[in-house]
Structure 1
Amino acid sequence: MPADTPFWSAHRHADRRPLLLARNRIQAAIRGWLAERDFTEVDPVALQISPGNEAHLHGFATTAIGNDGQPQQMYLHTSPEFAMKKLLAAGETRIHAFAHVWRNRERGALHSPEFTMLEWYRVGEDYTVLMDDCAAFLALAATAAGARAFRFRDSSCDPFATPERLSVAQAFLRYAQIDLLATLAADGTPSAAALAAQMQAQAIRFAPDDTWSDMLSRILVEKVEPHLGHGRPTILDRYPVAEAALARPCPDDPRVAERFELYACGVELANGFGELTNPDEQRRRFAAEMDEKQRVYGERYPVDEDFLAALAHMPPSSGIALGFDRLVMLATGAPRIDDVMWVPVAG
C-alpha cells in the first residue's frame, strides 16, 4: 500500500486494526497489574506554566486568554512529571498516568510530536523496584500481544528474560574503551578536556566546540546504544549526575545518580529515577539546563515555582516514564510509531 495512503482509508485501517486492538489489550493488562498493587490512576492536565526544564526537550507554546482578556504564555507538557510530583507532595503514595505528552522537533519511526507516556511513582521505595516493574511490563505486553519476542528492524529481544543491568561507566568501557568516571571530579563536575583526550585516543570524532555533554551523547549514540537490548532487555544504570537533572546522587558515589534507562531491540523505552527532592538543588540544575538551552537553541523556558514549592514537601520517591507507543511497537513488530496510534498526528 502506498506510504501516503491516509490512515482512515478502509484498507489501511484494516491492516492497522490488529495492532491497535493489541495496544488496547496491553494497556488493559498494565492497568490491571497496577490496580492490583494499589496504584491510583491520575489524569494530570497538559496545560502548564513550564513544559519541563531539560535543555534538549522542546515544548509546544500556546497563549491562554484570561477572563480579563489578558494573554499568558503557557505550554503543553513534555511529561506529566511536575503535576504528578505535586500529587506526591499532597499525600499520594502510588500513582500512575497514561498521559498524552507533546515534544516539538521530534518526528520519525520512533518519534511523534504527540504520544502516550506511561508514568508511575512509588513513595518510600528504592528506584531499583522500578526495574522490576519494567521487566513485568515487558512480559505483560508480550503476553497481551501474543508475541514470543519483541522485534524492531533486524533486532529481536526476549521480553521474558531477566534484563541485563550495567552502569553507564561499565558500558562506556565495554563498548567505547572510555573511562567515563575519570572525566568526573569528586563532586561530579565533568571535564570536557579529559573526555576529549580519551575520544582522540580511540579515534572517535568530536567537534572543537563540543561540551562534555555533547561528547558523552555522541559516544552513547554511536558506540553504546547500538549494543543495548539485543537478545534480552538492558538496563543502563547510574548516569553521571550532570546528565540526571531530576535524580538524586547515588549514596556511594556522588559523581553518578540514581537514573536508569530501559532498552529493548536497541530502542530506549523508559527513563527512571530516584527522585531529587531538594528544591534548592533542583533550582540550580534547572538554571544550568536552561543556560545550555539558551546556548544551543537561543531560548529558555520558565521555571514552575509552584513545582519547586511542592518539592520541599515531597517524600523520598522513585519515578519513571515509559514510552507506551514504543512498547506496543516492539510487542507487535510494527515498523513505525504511527502504526500503533489510533489517530496519528497529521503530516
Structure 2
Amino acid sequence: MTPQPIWHPDSLADRLPFLRRRALLLAATRAFFAARGYTEVETPYAVTAPGEEVHLSAFATERIGADDSRMPLWLHTSPEFAMKRLLVAGAGPIFQIARVWRNREGSARHATEFTMLEWYRPGASMDDLIGEVVAFLRAVLPPVVTSQGVTTSLAEIDRLTVSEAFARDVGADVLATAEDAPALAAAAAERLRDGEDWEDLFFRLLLGRIEPKLGQAHPTFLTHWPAAQAALAQRDPTDARVAERFELFVCGMELANAFVELTDATEQRARFMADRARRHALYGAADWPLDEDFLAAMEHGMPPAAGIALGFDRLAMIASGADRLDQVQWLPG
C-alpha cells in the first residue's frame, strides 16, 4: 500500500494529538526559563564553521553577496559556539530553541533536521545544572511519562558516574584502562575487533551494555566522563582523568548532553586540533576553517558557566507518549 503524502489530512490527523502536546510543551519551556531570569536568544543558522565534533556530518551551503561574491557556509549542528560568544559579550543566562542539521542521521529517534533546546548559566556548577534540569522536567512533564514502551517516574532521579556504570555493567575499570584498548577488552571479556581503538570499544560497550539500562524507572544522569570524551568540558578539579560532563536519559532515550564549560582558549585550541586530526583520519579533511573567531572570543574571556543541549523533539515524544520522532514534527522530512 502506498504511504499517504505527509500533507494529506489523514496523515496530519494521526499526528495532531502529539503536535498539540508539543505546542503546549514549547509554551511551558519558554515560561520556565523566563521565570528563572533567562533571556531567549537567536543566533545564525548558517555559519563559517559548524564545529569540530569528530562524528557529526554538516550540511554545506553558500552565501552569495550583492556583488556576486561567494562564501561557503554550513548549517550549524548546534548553536553552542554562537551562544558562548554571547556569554563572552555579557548576555548572562540565555536559552535558545533552534533548528539544527546533522547529515547521515535517521531513525525512530533521529532526523537530519530537528529542534535543539540549549541553555547556559554563568557561574553554575554541574550540581546546579542537574538541579535545574530536574526542575525543568518536573515543570513541563507529567509525573509519570511513557515513550517507546518505557515508563519513567520523575519522582526520583538516578545518578552514577561513567566509571561506576562500567564497573557495574561491564566489570571493567574504565579509567585505569583509558586509551589502552587491549586492557579494556580483556577487562570486559570482549574480543578487540580489527582496527578498533579504545574510543571505538568504549562506545561499543557503552551502547551495548550500559545505555539500555539507563533512564528506565527514573531519569538517569550519567556523569564524570573520561576526559578524552568531553572536548568542550572542564576537567574535574578533584580528578583530572574525568571531565565535568553528564548525559541525561529518560524513557530509555538519551535526552541531553551537558558540560561545565571549558574556558581556557589554549586548551580549547589544542582539543579542536586533536579532533580535526581524528576526523581527517576517519572521514577526510574538513571543508571548513578552524573557528578562529570563537577562539578569539575564548581568549577575550568566557565566564565560568554550565550549559546543556537537549533534544526538544525527543522531549516532545516523552511529553506526548509518541514512539517516533516524526510523530512530533509538523512536516517531517
Question: Normalising to structure 2: TM-score of the pair?
Answer: 0.96
Q: Would the alpha carbon gap of residues 221 and 3 (structure 1) be closer, same or farther in structure 2, given more than 3 Å must change?
A: farther
- Quote the residue 1:94 is aligned against: 93
1:73-112 residue pairs with structure 2 within 5 A? Answer: 73-112=72-111
How far is the alpha carbon of 1:3 from its aligned partner?
7.9
In 2, the alpha carbon distance for the partners of 1:197 and 1:288 equals: 27
Give the aligned CA root-mean-square deviation in angstroms.
1.4
In 2, the alpha carbon distance for the partners of 1:97 and 1:73 equals: 25
Gaps of at least 5 residues in structure 2 are: none
- Specify which of 186, 209, 216 is matched with residue 197 of structure 1: 186
Partner SS for 1:258: strand
1:173-322 residue pairs with structure 2 within 5 A? Answer: 173-184=167-178, 190-199=179-188, 202=189, 204-300=190-286, 301-312=288-299, 313-322=301-310
Partner SS for 2:317: helix
- Quote the residue 2:162 is aligned against: 168
Moved more, 311-320 or 128-137: 128-137
Alignment: residue pair count = 331
Question: Is 1:258–1:273's contact at 8 Å kept on the other side of the alignment?
Answer: yes
Moved more, 280-289 or 255-264: 280-289
Question: Is 2:125–2:306's contact at 8 Å kept on the other side of the alignment?
Answer: yes
Question: Is 1:26–1:140's contact at 8 Å kept on the other side of the alignment?
Answer: no
Summarize deviations over 1:10-60 as a string: whole Å, max 9, x none.
Answer: 122122111111101111111111101110000111011111111011110
Moved more, 58-67 or 223-232: 58-67
Amino acid at match of 2:276: M
In 2, the alpha carbon distance for the partners of 1:3 and 1:175 equals: 44
Partner SS for 1:61: strand
Amino acid at match of 1:169: S
In 2, the alpha carbon distance for the partners of 1:3 and 1:274 equals: 49
How far is the alpha carbon of 1:156 from its aligned partner?
1.4
How far is the alpha carbon of 1:322 from its aligned partner?
0.2
Q: Would the alpha carbon gap of residues 157 and 205 (structure 1) be closer, same or farther in structure 2, given more than 3 Å must change?
A: farther
1:41-60 residue pairs with structure 2 within 5 A? Answer: 41-60=40-59
- Quote the residue 2:152 is aligned against: 157
Percent identical among aligned pairs is: 47
In 2, the alpha carbon distance for the partners of 1:117 and 1:227 equals: 24
Amino acid at match of 2:170: A
In 1, the alpha carbon distance for the partners of 2:145 and 2:2 equals: 24
Question: Is 1:141–1:328's contact at 8 Å kept on the other side of the alignment?
Answer: no
1:54-69 residue pairs with structure 2 within 5 A? Answer: 54-69=53-68
How far is the alpha carbon of 1:73 from its aligned partner?
1.4
In 2, the alpha carbon distance for the partners of 1:27 and 1:213 equals: 36
Gaps of at least 5 residues in structure 1 are: 185-189
In 1, the alpha carbon distance for the partners of 2:74 and 2:85 equals: 18
Partner SS for 1:247: coil
How far is the alpha carbon of 1:65 from its aligned partner?
2.0
In 2, the alpha carbon distance for the partners of 1:255 and 1:244 equals: 11
Runs of 4 or more, structure 1, over 6 Å off, are none
In 1, the alpha carbon distance for the partners of 2:93 and 2:270 equals: 28
In 2, the alpha carbon distance for the partners of 1:214 and 1:275 equals: 25
In 2, the alpha carbon distance for the partners of 1:19 and 1:70 equals: 44
Summarize deviations over 1:128-161 as a string: whole Å, max 9, x none.
Answer: 2221222122223323xxxx53223232111x22
Amino acid at match of 1:179: D
In 1, the alpha carbon distance for the partners of 2:131 and 2:329 equals: 27
Partner SS for 1:18: helix
In 2, the alpha carbon distance for the partners of 1:193 and 1:288 equals: 22
